[in-house]
Amino acid sequence: MIEGFSRELSEGLAQAHVGAARRKSRLRLIAGGVTLPILRMWDGGLAVEATGAPPVRGLVDIHDGARHVCQCLIVAASEEGGEMRYEFKRATPAADTAPLDFERDADAPRGLLT
């Protein structure tokens, strides 16, 4: 259906689609002091707007508003259709507490009363 439109109109529709996705998403990619709004995220990758997006590689943080969601290791990037698509090798969910270095018994007491 888009083939029948003029080039200017199809580019305008693509920009409107990217703008609507940017306004709808609260997810942000933070890498080295640069914050980029995430247009969409899937299992194994994410997409940001291509204009002004620096080539990012390595460890980045993903935030949902002010909440830290996960930390990702970006290994590949490509530009397609006005989007910069980043593929990540791993996505580690953020935790509020440090991991335990021992196994906690299921029936262990939660605290001691004196």
Tens of pLDDT, residue by residue over 7-46, are 777 777 777 666 665 556 689 989 888 888 898 889 989 9
Structure tokens given for 3: 């083939």
* Residue 8 domain-assigned (yes or no): no
* Residue 53 domain-assigned (yes or no): yes
Please tell me whether residue 51 adopts helix, strand or coil conformation. coil
Q: Which domain holds residue 43?
A: 26-93
CB 56 within 8 A of CB 77: yes
Q: What is the CATH number of the domain that holds 35?
A: 2.40.10.430
* Residue 67 domain-assigned (yes or no): yes
pTM for the whole thing?
0.64
Domain count, the chain: 1
* Residue 101 domain-assigned (yes or no): no
Q: Which helix (H) or strand (E) segment is 24 a member of?
A: helix 7-24
Residue-wise pLDDT for 46-84, tens only, equals: 998 888 777 888 999 999 988 899 999 999 888 888 888
Chain centroid offset of residue 100 CA: 27
* Residue 20 domain-assigned (yes or no): no
